[in-house]
Structure 1
Amino acid sequence: MAAPALIALAHGTRDARSSATITALVDEVRAMRPDLKVERAFLESARPAFQTVVDRLVKAGHEEIVVVPLLLTEGQLLAADVPSAVAAAAERHPGLQIRSTAILGLEPCFLEVLDVRLREALRQSRVRELDALVLAASGSTDPLANQAVARLARLWGAHHRLPVTAAFASVSPPATGEAVRAFRGEGRRHIAVASLFLSPGCATDRSAELALEAGAVAVSEPLGAHPEVARTVLARYAVGAVELVPV
């Protein structure tokens, strides 16, 4: 019996950089598990659309599908849309076994990816000294989601023995610029910002712009298509695949 197909589901934007990043991440997943049928899909604005991908998989004979939402926190917009999209797909295809997994979340291993991306930014900016860090994320109306980012920031700061502040691109204070200015108010002058986003877009652009205007010495690229992120996608898939097995 064939393993369930995997759909890596992103929200989707009109920003071509975001779609390209998701495509690269899915290619990374495929390279790790060439035995699996792995597809990317988007709920809005980008193609291929989620329901189109489901229809195509069903037509090809797949009877089981595991959907992995490409989200770092529960408070992100897609989290509320996934259950209804999966339910609609099941209704469209009677007999189809389709299940959504937990989101990617904020895995400690993502700190390694942050370090890689930040080192790249520091090298490009020719920065050799740091005395503070800012961890920039999307932000949420859910305080628990923001607290999860703050916990990861503390863990990251402890690892590097540097003060770290979590900042957010929307909804919740502080914004990245505010966080950088607060550190500068303490006399710190070598402040770098790491982008805890999965892919680039308007939010990451604005976050970086505010940080640089406030005096940050470097801002990293988002996590992107890194092997640790791909391995986390497959870990979520593995749990979802097991849950599809009849008891």
Structure 2
Amino acid sequence: MTLVLVAHGTRDPRGAVVVEEIAELVRARLGGVAVEVAYADVRQPDVTSVVRGIGGPVVVVPAFLASGYHVRVDVPEQIAAGGHGDVVVTEPIGSALVPVLRERLREAGWRAGDAVVLAAAGSSDARALADVAEVGRVLGASVGYVATASPSVAEVVAGLKACGRRVAVASWLLAPGLFHRRLADVGADVVAEPLGAHPRVVDAVLLRYYEARCFLQVA
């Protein structure tokens, strides 16, 4: 049973390095299970070509932090185009990763009393925005978006700074890329790094894989 780890994709080579690091850590934990990497957008290989080249059952784990267009529409369509008849797509991995956000904030220099802004990529999908809002609630943070949705991260930061607050931005992004680079210019006192190849990210991928494998065995 092959695990296909699907990331969004970025032109920043550092982003691809992070995805490959996560995949390698997953391989190490799974022993003899094959783990392939595919991208929903921007980079190759795409999901269609990867799935098409696999024989036997496939578990596709979207390495996304919310259930937006790519997870609900794009990835399933690419899988269907591959013509593979034995594929299970899991839920995205984001819901279990709030502790990583807190760790990245501390590493970046967050101080007790700082206002925290959760910086998410943004989406036109209301379900994805609801996912982000829930993460913000658990983190105790205001929410801002880098693209697509509003308010922007810069707007939220500016509002908090106008109240005299020191502001720390938590990056709700998996890997470096254009969106994270934009956070350098939002006016925050602290900007945390993306989640990266953190052990809890690996744990989240493995949890989705094992859930899907159990489903396949029962079915």
| TM-score over 0.5 (shorter chain) | yes
Structure-1 separation of matches of 2:210 and 2:9: 24
Structure 2 counterpart of 1:219, from 180, 191, 194: 191
Q: Does 1:210 align with 2:185?
A: yes
**Stretches of structure 1 lacking an aligned partner (at least 5 in a row):** 158-163
Q: Does 1:31 align with 2:28?
A: yes
In our comparison, the structure showing a higher alpha carbon Rg is 1
Q: Are 2:40 and 2:70, in contact at CA under 8 Å, matched by a contact in 1? A: no
Over residues 164-188 of structure 1, what are the superposed CA-to-partner deviations in whole Å (9 max), with x where a residue is unaligned? 2111111222211111111112221
Structure 2 counterpart of 1:148, from 131, 148, 172: 131
Over residues 144-182 of structure 1, what are the superposed CA-to-partner deviations in whole Å (9 max), with x where a residue is unaligned? 32232222222212xxxxxx2111111222211111111
Cα drift, residue 225 of structure 1? 0.6
For 1:1-247, what aligned pairs fall within 5 Å after superposition? 4-58=1-55, 63-89=56-82, 91=83, 93=84, 96-107=85-96, 110-122=97-109, 128=111, 130-157=113-140, 164-188=141-165, 190-206=166-182, 208-211=183-186, 214=187, 216-245=188-217, 247=219
Cα drift, residue 13 of structure 1? 2.4
Sort the Cα spacing of 1:28 and 1:118 in 2 relative to 1 into closer, same or farther, 3 A: same
Structure-1 separation of matches of 2:214 and 2:81: 22
Identity of aligned residues (%): 37
What is the CA RMSD across the aligned residues, in angstroms? 1.9
Sort the Cα spacing of 1:48 and 1:148 in 2 relative to 1 into closer, same or farther, 3 A: closer
Structure-2 separation of matches of 1:112 and 1:104: 13
Match for 1:229: what amino acid?
V
Structure-1 separation of matches of 2:126 and 2:46: 30
Task: Count residues in correspondence.
Answer: 219
SS of match in other structure, 2:217: coil
Cα drift, residue 129 of structure 1? 5.6
Over residues 70-113 of structure 1, what are the superposed CA-to-partner deviations in whole Å (9 max), with x where a residue is unaligned? 11111253532111111122x2x5xx522211121322xx1211
Structure-2 separation of matches of 1:179 and 1:21: 28
